[in-house]
Structure formats: C-alpha cells, structure tokens
Amino acid sequence: MADNKKVWLITGSSTGFGRSLTEAVLKHGHRVVATARKPEQLSDLVDQYPETAKAVRLDVTNTQQVHDAVKSSVDAFGHIDVLVNNAGYGTIGALEEVSEEAIQRQFATNVFGALNMIKAVLPGLRQQRSGHILNISSVGGFVSFAGTGIYCSTKFALEGLSEALSKEVAPLGIKVTIIEPGAFRTDFNGRSLATPEHLIDDYASTSGEFLKWIRETDGTQPGDPDKAAQAMIQAVESHNPPLRLALGADALHLISEKLSSVKAEMEAWKQVSINTAFEGLEVGAIGG
C-alpha cells in the first residue's frame, strides 16, 4: 500500500454524509474502517473493497464500543490517520417543547459521542505525530435559528471544543477541521429528525415555521453529499487545511451574514464594552 494512502475511521457510515464519504475515500484507494450501529448495512462496501474496507459495530454513546472500534482499526490497518466524527442527528423544536430526555440524548450523541471518539484516537495520533480529525458540525454550529436551540447548542459545543483542540494538538502534527454543511440531501430532514411530542401554539410562528420548512424541503435540498465528500477529502489532502470549511452557498451566505451582524453590533456597543475596566488599566487579549 502506497505511503500516501491513509487509514480513515468514519462514524455513522451507513447513510448520508458518512456513506458518501466512505464510498469516496475507498474509491480514492484509501483504507476505511466504516462504523454503524448496524454494520451489516455496510456489507456491500466490504464485499466490493475486501482489502481496504472494514465494517465495525459502533454506537458512539457506548464507551466500550468506541474503544473496541479504535482497537479494531489499529488491528486491521496498523494505525489511524483520519477520524471523521459524522455520527449525529437533529432535534428540532422550541426549547420549552423539547423534553429533558430528548436533550440528553442529543448531547450524548452529538457532543459526548464525538468527544469519546476524539479521546480514544488521540493517544495513537500523538504517538505518530500526525493525523487529522474532521468534526461534522453544521451551519447551525455557527448560526442558530428558532427551533434549533438544542441541536445548534450541540454543534456550537462541538465547534468550541474543536477550536481549542486544534490549538492543543497543532504542535504535535495533528490537524483539526470543522465541517459546516448547509442544506444537503441527506436524511437529516426526514428519518433522522427528532421532534417534540407536544407542540406549544405560542411557538407556531417561530420554531413551528422552521420545522414546517425542514419537512417541506426534505428531498429537495440543494447540497450534493457526494460533492461534500470530495470537499472533505480535498481538505484532508491539503497541506494547509482550514479550521472551518463551510459547504454550500447557503452556509457561506448565512455565516457571512452573521459575521457582519456581530461586527456591527460590537462596534455599536464598543464604548460600553471598553468602559468596564478599572480606571487606568489597559486590558490585552485573553491568552495574549
């Protein structure tokens, strides 16, 4: 196997971005440990690529399965070069509508599941002084919308830990990239979507309208998951990969719009912000 062929460990490989990325990486000649809660859904890929594909059972909320998946990857291919934290789903509903149990499930998968994977692979990446971690966030990891408070808070958390992680591991030769897709034609809006059991009429014109839009656009989203997969591979193959990679013109527009809004608001309230220091004291940047 050529030196430039990497070993990828991809979570949530059975559908959506995970499936498209797994197929694309295998077509590029790399080795892949594809994981899913039902690994039999990946048997066709293992049959097609018997030397370079391995399917492993993995629920990212199960710590033992996380460590077993990492061990299986190393046992099969000797090491791991790229971890892709793709496993996740969306919960849509006003904050008041979403149950405590649903909130905990959402964070367990989207945040703690990814964190479990990161902590499990880091010892090996540190030892080899190389590697790349791709955390699949969302445009909702940068911009929040009515009805997405729980989902977006998990993606905001993922972005916060990814940004810190990138600074911690950069001197060790390990790279981190946050993927921020807009609306792509996956099953996010359909089968994978979680919604509240009881809706509150007062939120019909805010979170209710967003939920309606999500359902109406299912199957007609502009983003092509296969093209997203190629973009992710391009980021991994780059000598200077981005910390954040927005995917889709819609994601670029929404993120740019928020950056402009935040800048304008900070400028409008600049003097109020500055006037909170003790008299005569100059305050520098945190960590600067």
Q: Give the DSSP H or E segment for 215.
A: helix 207-216
Residues 6+ apart with CB under 8 A from 148: 90, 92, 140, 210
Residue 148 identity (one-letter amino acid): T
* DSSP type of residue 247: E
The active-site residue, picked from 49, 89, 151, 203, is 151
CA distance 81 to 131: 5
CA distance 241 to 143: 22
Question: According to DSSP H, which parts of 100-206 are helical?
Answer: 100-107, 114-128, 149-169
CA distance 81 to 234: 15
Q: Please provide the distance, in angstroms rounded to a whole number, between the alpha carbons at the two ends of the chain.
A: 45
What secondary structure does DSSP assign to 171-199, as a single string?
GGTEEEEEEEE-SBSSSTTTTT-B--SS-
Q: Distances in Å between the alpha carbon of 78 and those of 4, 15, 33, 237, 266?
A: 15, 26, 12, 20, 50
Concerning whether 155 is annotated as a catalytic residue, the answer is yes
CA distance 189 to 48: 30
Concerning whether 89 is annotated as a catalytic residue, the answer is no
Of 62, 162, 171, nearest in space to 126 by CA? 171
The active-site residue, picked from 14, 155, 203, 207, is 155
Concerning whether 137 is annotated as a catalytic residue, the answer is yes
The active-site residue, picked from 13, 14, 137, 138, is 137
The residues annotated with a catalytic role in the active site are 137, 151, 155
